[in-house]
Amino acid sequence: MEIAVQIAAAMNLRLMQVEKVLSLLEEGATIPFIARYRKDVTGGLDEVQIQKIQDDAKALKEFNDRKAFIEKTIAEQGKLTEAIQEKLNAATTIAQLEDIYLPYKPKRKTKAQTARENGLEPLAVLLMEQKEQDIAAIAVTFVNEQVKDADAALQGARDIIAENINENAELRAKLRKLFEDSATLQSKVLADKTEEAIKYKDYFDFSEPIHKIPSHRILAVMRGFLEGFLRMNIAPVEEDAIGMIEDQFITGHLNASVEQVKKAIKDAYRRLLQPSLESEFRTALKARGDEEAIAVFAENLRQLLLSSPLGSKRVLAIDPGYRTGCKVVCLDEKGELLHNDLIYVHEANRLETSRWTIRELVAKHNIQAFAIGDGTAGRETEQFIKGLQLNLPVFLVNEDGASVYSASETAREEFPNHDVTVRGAVSIGRRLMDPLAELVKIDP
């Protein structure tokens, strides 16, 4: 299996290990199952290596399928020469395959195709020779019913040149490298959206090299763009890109023909190359941003799930709030609900009553620790509890997902006689006592 051979070489594994993993995955085995119960078959590969084998196999299959399609399409056109086949065989990325395929790819009628139909390709060839010649006089000879004057003839010839430049695989590879090395992600706020887009104020006039920009800023700019608040652009310095194209295609000294080719180069970059490569890099940046964000989220979740449990201690848990008050629950050593109450720590006329309530509950239920949700009003509630000076540990607890659990069927079955506010506060307290046991209850 060619794919297995490539993966084994890239990951420095034995071919047998990769083949066994691919076979198990094909049979429907999951990555956790293979990593846990098939170590003897895979030679001890862990879940990270198995995941990479799966990802690489998927990418290689997509590459091979696309290559086969391109070969078939070009062959059906009768244009699959040995030189093109060699280029396809040498390609290592889908982007390289697409560059080779571009001149043969079926497309909507373009300006260049119209110009060719109007008989202007010979004029384009003359311009590309870049010789000293009377361009205006030559262009007049191409005037016909479809081409009204010499300027129209020159415009059509430039359209043909621009398309030829755009479809040059060698140039696209060079420009892609330029984008990788020096392109910046830029954003500006739309003139009439300044007030609505205030949450994106950091990106109202923003620019950062794409090889340095962190994932959270990539995703923030893209959200602002998709929501219609920001304009977004990905490109290197235009002069650098156009200079690179001129280095490849300008062969003569400055004359009328060269000036026409230079105009075609600018048009090729601005109308065809830059938008195409920007779209490609936008997709790549989005994928990178998503991948890095998922990795950060996964690590944060791992740390949350592995948080040290408080253990078997009696806990007073609070789900903070402003207008509706703070829901209070008392839990025993096993996390069973003993009592629930409501206090208002953000209203001056109710502060003393709230203090008395907490002190009474601590004494009555022999409370050993406080768990306070870290959402809205969390910090203020924490300060209120610490201000009571009860000499008990106070913990801010991550309450993400507590509302999801409190409205779940599991929570309703456990606390049929209590509303979502009580269930949410219980979940916060239990997260302090045993984070993993409580978090697994949340529906993914």
| pLDDT beyond 90 at 304 | no
Task: Give the model's pLDDT for residue 1.
Answer: 58
- The answer on pLDDT for 54 being more than 90 is yes
- What is the residue type of 343? I
pLDDT of 189-240, one tens digit each? 998 898 888 999 999 999 999 999 999 999 999 999 999 999 999 999 999 9
Superfamily of domain 2-104: RuvA domain 2-like (1.10.10.650)
- Distance in angstroms (rounded) separating the CA atoms of residues 102 and 166: 9
Tell me the mean pLDDT in the region 409-414: 87
How high is the mean pLDDT of the chain? 92
* pLDDT over 90 percentage in the chain: 80
Cα–Cα dist 195/361, whole Å? 47
Mean pLDDT (whole number) for 72-83:
93
If one compares 317 and 436, the residue with the highest pLDDT of the two is 317
Q: What is the DSSP letter of 326?
A: E
* Maximum distance among all Cα pairs of the chain, rounded to whole angstroms: 104
Query: pLDDT-based confidence at 439, cuts 50/70/90?
Result: confident
d(CA 352, CA 43): 66
Q: Model pTM? A: 0.69
Q: 205-209 and 230-235 as β-strands: parallel, antiparallel, unpaired?
A: unpaired
Kindly list the domain boundaries of the chain, sorted by start residue.
2-104, 111-183+236-301, 315-439
Q: Which fold has domain 315-439?
A: Nucleotidyltransferase; domain 5 (3.30.420)
Distance of CA 32 to the CA centre of its chain: 25
Mean pLDDT (whole number) for 9-30: 93
Structure tokens of 245?
């194209």
In this prediction, residue 313 has a pLDDT band, given cuts at 50, 70 and 90, of very high
Kindly report, residue by residue over 239-274, the tens digit of the pLDDT: 999 999 999 999 988 999 999 999 999 999 999 999
- Say if CB 71 and CB 85 are below 8 A apart: yes
Confidence band for 383, pLDDT divided at 50, 70 and 90: very high
Q: Kindly state the average pLDDT of the residues 313-338.
A: 94
> Would you say residue 318 has pLDDT above 70?
yes
Residue range 368-388: average pLDDT?
Answer: 93
Amino acid at 167: E
**Of the candidates 34, 64, 74, which has an alpha carbon nearest to the alpha carbon of residue 52?**
34
Distance CA 71, CA 80 (A): 7
- Quote the tokens at residue 17: 């290990």
CA distance 31 to 152: 62
Which tokens sit at 314?
Answer: 């009696």
Query: What are the contacts of 108-112 at 24+ separation with CB within 8 A?
Result: 110/159, 110/163, 111/156, 111/159, 111/162, 111/163, 112/159, 112/160, 112/162, 112/163, 112/164
At residue 19, the pLDDT reads 94
Whether residue 128 contacts residue 253, with contact meaning beta carbons closer than 8 Å, is answered with no
Residue, of 89 and 307, whose pLDDT is higher: 89
Which CATH code fits 111-183+236-301?
Answer: 1.10.3500.10
pLDDT band at 441 (very low <50, low <70, confident <90, very high): confident
Q: Which pLDDT score, from 0 to 100, does residue 346 have?
A: 86
